[in-house]
Amino acid sequence: MNLIIVIVLCLLIVAMAVTAIMHKKLTISVLAAGVVSLLASVLYLLLAAPDVAMTEAAIGSGLSTIIFFYVLNKIRNVK
């Protein structure tokens, strides 16, 4: 059961990473990169590393996504 969840999570992470690279809209790409971190944190939790999972969820999917959006907004103003 656990193995199935891990495999599904890994496939979702790969799908989200491909979305982040391929999508034409940068907003969607940034969100997809955030979702990769979120899914990775669930994966860490399943693999018995709660400390790393908390860091990944707070920094990877929270703070870095916000910082990407700030930078995106800044670049858009220049165009």
Contact residues: another protein, CB under 8 A = 50-51, 53-55, 58-59, 62-63, 66-67, 70-71, 73-74, 77-78
Cβ within 8 Å of residue 73, ≥6 positions away = none
Of 9 and 72, CB closest to another protein:
72
Q: Which is nearer to another protein, 23 or 57 (CB)?
A: 57
Q: Based on CB atoms, which residue is closest to another protein, 25 or 74?
A: 74
CB of 43 to another protein, least distance (A): 15
CB of 61 closer than 8 Å to CB of 34: yes
* Inter-residue contact 39 to 9 (CB < 8 Å): yes
CB atoms under 10 Å from CB of 20, counted, come to 18
